[in-house]
Chains A and B, each alone.
Chain A
């Protein structure tokens, strides 16, 4: 009881302090400095309509590279922490017929929608990470509905590694052509798609990189789910 009341008092003090600090930050007013530059120049500099994805992939591409690295380390870490010699699915209750049939019917649609999200990252809300998470949801559904399902490991792990390498490769091609890492060579050197901004075939290398990231995130999250759902098998 003493501990709880102490915690509540200190939390109220911290909350008051945070609120005092935020009182100097007005809500709903224009506080943009760099944001104006991005919004003004996003169309001619990157070819993307969606300013957020243009910032994530193009202006601040290093952030995304670090983010992909964090996710990769997390999936490797989950695999290393839960490593056993013999592991398998130990679920016993099969889902009902309605559930399994429903999942079988839904699976291609969810995968298609995930692919739609990451291919249209430069036009609509979304991008590689939401698209990849949607695809991983499809595989999670398969895991939940069937007692014996496992992702095809060999293909998945290879695809994940190849996707990660091709992201760095796209950046290195930019280094060779434009002089710095993650230079948008498709847009600024080739001017490819510069006359149809706002349509699918534009946006420089944003759709390319987001396709790579979407595949990588999808396989990685499915791998994390796979690692967490398996248990040790004892003979």
Chain B
């Protein structure tokens, strides 16, 4: 039986993938990419969980063997920032595309370029 966290993370990735495959609006595709990224981060963080242990902040009586794995948390910290950066880039590209073509529909943009 798969854990509910893994299931949720996979479901988020798949929902994002569905949006990227099916949707035609550029903004919806970007939202789907963000959802996928959230799913990947959730998957990473849930792999590092150890049942019954606390956050890896070793103050106030938390011994080193009472903490969860700190490495996935560090990785996710990096991944979140990179996701925000790529989303900002993609959004400004979307602004430019709307100014140039007057539409955000992916198929119409493809047709306009000829």
Check A7–B67 contact: CB distance below 8 A. Answer: no
- Who on chain A is nearest to B99 by CB? A232
Check if B74 sits within 8 Å of A71, measured CB to CB: no
Q: Which residues of B contact A71 (CB under 8 A)?
A: 81, 84-85
B106 interface residue (CB < 8 Å to A): no
CB-nearest residue of chain B to A74:
B85
Query: What chain A residues lie within 8 Å of B91 (beta carbons)?
Result: 228
The contact string, 1 if C-beta is below 8 Å from chain A, for chain B 6-47, is 110011011001100110000000000000000000010011
CB distance from A15 to the nearest CB of B (A): 5
Q: In whole Å, how far is A221's beta carbon from the nearest beta carbon of chain B?
A: 8
A71 to B79, CA, bound (A): 11
* Stretch from A52-60, A103-111, A141-149 contacting the other chain: A52-60
Residues of B within 8 Å of A29, CB to CB, are 50-51
* B70 adjacent to chain A (CB < 8 Å): yes
Interface membership of chain B positions 39-62, coded 1 if the CB is closer than 8 angstroms to chain A and 0 otherwise: 000010011111100011111000
User: Could you tell me if B96 and A50 are in contact, using CB atoms closer than 8 angstroms?
Assistant: no
Instruction: From known contacts A40-B64, A43-B58, A52-B70, infer whether A23 and B17 are also in contact, taking CB-CB under 8 Å.
Output: no
